[in-house]
Amino acid sequence: MAFRKRLRQQAELVSGSRSAPVQRGPVSAPLCLVASACPTRQERLAECATVAGWRPVICASLDGALSTVRRTLFRLAIVDLTESWSEEVTGFRALAEHLRQQTELLLVLCGNADVASEEIWARQLGAWMYLPGMVGEEEMQMICRAAVESANKLKHGAPIIAVS
């Protein structure tokens, strides 16, 4: 229950209705942006990131995400592009393009299972990983753990290989 309350507080912060961020996890944990318009997916993605050692910051809108990205250095960004939230998809695609300009950021895009053009776009963009459809919690935790290792390599200038 406390986990959900913290997630709602973070969502309120990003939407502008709160004045101070709610921090979760150890302060030394790297930051992970979770951009999704779906509260259930936000919670699930943030929980997987937390278990893997990230400190997630949830953004439910493009404006909130862009504002947060301007003032915060993220090492991992998970962007939800699923069709069930199509109003935000165009904005979150723009967010992904903006995030890709950051050199020390790993970009994970969660897309639609049956849209080949989306996967092509994600790969051309240079996403670290593209997930067609939502994966299970264990798989997402594994991806987030792999991202910790890759982010550390990237931080120290070592080459990384996407695991998608």
Alpha-carbon distance of 150 to 137, in angstroms, equals 20
113-120-117 Cα angle (round to 5) = 60
Q: Going residue by residue through the chain (164 aa), what tens digit of pLDDT does each one get?
A: 555 555 455 544 444 433 333 445 555 789 999 999 889 999 999 999 999 999 999 999 889 999 999 999 999 999 999 865 566 677 899 999 999 998 889 999 999 888 899 999 999 999 999 999 878 999 999 999 999 999 988 876 655 555 54
Partnered with residue 111 across adjacent β-strands are: 132
DSSP alpha helix (H) spans, 33-114:
39-51, 62-71, 86-99
The answer to whether residue 16 is domain-embedded is yes
pTM score, whole prediction: 0.80
Residue 162 lies in a domain: no
Which domain does 42 fall in, by range? Answer: 2-155
d(CA 121, CA 111): 11
Q: How many folded domains does the chain comprise?
A: 1
Is 87 part of any domain? yes
- Residue type (1 letter), 113: A
